[in-house]
């Protein structure tokens, strides 16, 4: 299996996947992060998708990245080109219709981050993926629960049931 991590940061996921025996590659636009990855992990990350072969990955990940990209449709079409037929794209991103976003409104921390250029809900992320050629787009009810304990589990489960988790988790396929 080949995995591409777009927005790899300092390459920790790429490193962990390689340690698990997965053929993993990363793309990171930040030269500082790429340099850190190479000097501390011994892994060279690509500066952009143009440096990679198209249709060569089974899975492409974009974990907490899509809200930062300057060219949303270019990035999504690039991710599609990187996937083999029937390949899977996995995205996580803040949910603009999550409970905290609804309660905090304009003071919601994710909306105030100057590097967050896009904020998605389950409909908008599905729209962009479908329009860029992905099919079988599925938003998974996903909510990381920060602490153990029954009340936190119940709260997290309630947010999932109400479609109001703080994080969207999306899987889409290349047809």
Domains detected in the chain: 53-174 (3.40.50.150)
- The CA–CA distances, whole Å, from 132 to 24, 80, 135 equal 24, 8, 9
| Distance (Å, whole) CA 18 – CA 25 | 9
Q: Read off the pTM.
A: 0.86
| Distance (Å, whole) CA 13 – CA 108 | 28
DSSP code string of 89-124: EEEEEEBTTSHHHHHHGGG-HHHH-TT----B-HHH
pLDDT at residue 147, as a whole number: 64
pLDDT at residue 32, as a whole number: 98
Phi and psi for 67 in degrees, rounded to 5? -75, -10
Mean pLDDT (the chain, rounded): 90
pLDDT at residue 108, as a whole number: 81
> Are β-strands 134-140 and 83-94 bridged in parallel, bridged antiparallel, or unpaired?
unpaired
Q: What value does the mean pLDDT take over residues 144-157?
A: 70
Q: Is the pLDDT reported for residue 139 higher than 80?
A: yes
Distance, C-alpha 75 to centroid of its chain: 12
| Distance (Å, whole) CA 158 – CA 4 | 33
Lowest-pLDDT range, 4-8, 10-14, 148-152, 166-170? 148-152
Q: Is the pLDDT reported for residue 159 higher than 90?
A: no
């Amino acid at each position: 299996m080949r995995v591409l991590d777009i927005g790899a940061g300092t390459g920790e996921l790429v490193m962990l996947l390689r340690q698990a025996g997965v053929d993993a590659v990363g793309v990171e636009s930040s030269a500082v992060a790429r340099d850190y990855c190479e000097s501390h992990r011994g892994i060279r990350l690509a500066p952009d998708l143009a440096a990679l072969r198209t249709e060569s990955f089974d899975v492409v990940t974009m974990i907490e990245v899509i809200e930062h990209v300057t060219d949303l449709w270019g990035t999504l079409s690039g991710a599609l080109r990187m996937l083999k037929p029937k390949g899977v794209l996995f995205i996580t991103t803040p949910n603009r219709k999550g409970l905290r976003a609804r309660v905090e409104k304009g003071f919601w921390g994710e909306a105030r981050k100057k590097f967050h250029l896009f904020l998605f809900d389950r409909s908008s992320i599905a729209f962009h993926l479908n329009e860029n050629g992905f099919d079988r787009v599925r938003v998974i009810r996903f909510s990381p629960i920060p602490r153990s304990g029954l009340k936190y589990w119940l709260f997290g489960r309630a947010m999932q049931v109400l479609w109001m988790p703080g994080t969207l988790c999306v899987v889409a396929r290349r047809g």
